[in-house]
Amino acid sequence: MRTRMLLLLLAVILAACTAQQRKAVPEQARQAAAGVLLLGSSTGVTSVDAATGRVVSETTGVPPLGDWSEVFTTTSSGGRTILEVRDSATGAVASKTSLPGELSVRVASADGSLVALMAPLPDGQSPWTPVPRARTTIVVADPDGSRDTHYRLKGNFEPEAFSTFGDSLFLIKFVPATDPVAYKVARLDLAKGKVFPVGTGQKGVVETMSGTRLEQATSPDGDMLYTLYTTQPAAYAGVHAKNGTPVAFVHTLSLDEGWAHCVVLPKALWGADPAHEAMAASPDLDLLYVVDTERDLIAVMNTEKLEVVLTEPFDIGPVRGGETSAVVTPDGTLFVAAGSRVVAIDTGSLQPAQTWNMEASVSALGAGPDGVYVATPGGITVIDPATGRRTASIPSPAGDGMAYVGMVAAG
């Protein structure tokens, strides 16, 4: 199962398909790139000199929600944990503090002022495939060392995200605690140290659910967190729910108002292969797009009304391998990548406007001051989004599992 965080700065790649565009990029074009590329994945951030392709730093850890400019990393020794904040571009340590116990960062707030830590997971274990436990200890700390609070909670919890104002930590509560088959959404009041249920923003509290987490996206203002779930029941619950019905939905969590709501997607998108589904939020409209490149479908969700308002077929053409990616550019165009094929989709008609082919499967999409980027194994290609022409080619360790490509200014 993949878990990708699609963030505000993600944009799209246009890839050229003519014979002329497939020629080697001249040296002057390669040197046109300036600054440092950040390559984000589930394990941390690698920074690359955009002019030479030289790896500047490789930092293992967790970035703040919606911001890859910093990474929170931990090392444990002698019964204590050193929490460091590192600059993603340079790897330089911005702050450091010592905490009791052996801990690792689960989530960090958008402004980087708070982190939630727990005992390290076993190698290869995802926090979204729960381990049975009757009680959970979560440490909330300020990276500058001014705060270090241990919360010992009854139940099986995993941190989801901090509230906009930093007064709460939203949690996933797995139930039953010692034999998990489903989950609920809960809220830890950081001042009171108590866990409260989360409402729907209307009547009642969020129901118990089961699903396989696919990927996440934040709203442009950072106040909403969208999570795409598919294939219900989740793998960890399969043995308990033989009669479970496959389903797909978008879990919407308000980080400022404190409510959650599940928007069920059309049945045509249920039970899909996670590799073929992706979503992207519009940067200036209240719309979220969910695409399925195996079934050639697009569903449009209105994030204000919390409902799917349109479902349309589209034809991306034949694709081979790779995972599906989707992003909406500032001009409102939806781009979808599957395998080595990229299409630009007019969001008025939801039909492809242009199609490009890359030489290898696309592993991540990004945007920067000199154009947009496509990451394929071994390199980043910089594309002029207006013409689709390649303007630079940067050697890099880009590969599978990437979630973000972005540029920061040099020096």
Higher pLDDT, 363 or 120: 120
Q: How far is Cα 158 from Cα 261, in angstroms, rounded to an integer?
A: 19
The residue among 45 and 209 whose pLDDT is bigger is: 45
2-11, 131-140, 241-250, 312-321 — most confident range? 131-140
Q: What is the pLDDT of residue 23?
A: 32
Most confident range (mean pLDDT) of 11-25, 246-260, 317-331 is: 246-260
Burial code (b: 16+ CB inside 10 Å, e: under 16) for 121-154 equals eeeeeebbbbeeeeebebbbbbbeeeeeeebebe
pLDDT band at 142 (very low <50, low <70, confident <90, very high): very high
Least confident of 295-309, 314-328, 360-374: 360-374
The residue-averaged pLDDT of 311-335 equals 82
pLDDT at 235: 63
Written as one string, the DSSP assignment of 176-196 is STTS--EEEEEEEETTTTEEE
pLDDT in tens, 189-245: 999 999 999 987 665 556 677 777 778 888 888 899 999 987 655 666 654 444 456
- Among 64, 157, 71, residue whose Cα is nearest residue 119: 157
Q: Name the percent of the chain lying above pLDDT 70.
A: 83
| Strand spans (E) along 15-162 | 36-41, 44-49, 55-60, 70-77, 80-87, 93-100, 104-108, 115-118, 135-142, 147-154, 156-162
- What separation in angstroms does the CA of 191 have from each of 111, 149, 187, 215? 19, 10, 12, 30
Confidence check: pLDDT of 320 > 80: no
Average pLDDT over the chain, rounded to an integer: 82
Burial class (CB in 10 A: 0-12, 13-18, 19+), 191: exposed
The answer on pLDDT for 371 being more than 80 is no
Amino acid residing at 23? K
As a whole number, mean pLDDT of residues 160-176 equals 95
Tell me: pLDDT of 155 over 90: yes
Q: Mean pLDDT, to the nearest integer, of 129-146?
A: 93
Angstrom distance (rounded) from CA 34 to CA 49: 8
Phi then psi dihedrals of residue 236, to 5 deg: -70, -15
Other CB atoms within a 10 A radius of the CB of residue 348 amount to 8
Higher-pLDDT residue of 42, 301: 301
| pLDDT of 7 | 32
Q: Would you place residue 389 in the very low, low, confident or very high pLDDT band (cuts 50, 70, 90)?
A: confident
> Per-residue pLDDT for 154 more than 50?
yes
Q: CA–CA separation, 227 vs 284, rounded Å?
A: 19
Structure tokens at 108: 């960090």
Positive or negative, the CA dihedral 336, 339, 342, 343 is: negative
Q: What is the pLDDT of residue 238?
A: 57
pLDDT number for residue 310? 95
Mean pLDDT across the stretch 347-368?
Answer: 83
pLDDT of residue 12: 26
What is the rounded end-to-end Cα distance, in angstroms, of the chain? 38
Confidence (pLDDT) at 411: 56
Greater model confidence, 369 or 333? 333
What is the pTM for the complete model shown? Answer: 0.85
Using DSSP's 3-state secondary structure scheme, residue 244 falls into: coil
pLDDT value at residue 150:
96
Task: Express each pLDDT in 50-79 by its tens digit.
Answer: 888 899 999 999 999 888 999 999 999 999
Peptide bond into 330 cis (omega under 30): no
Q: What is the pLDDT of residue 177?
A: 94
Over residues 167-189, the mean pLDDT reads 93
pLDDT band at 400, cuts 50/70/90? low
**pLDDT computed for residue 5 by the predictor:** 39
Does residue 277 surpass a pLDDT of 70? yes
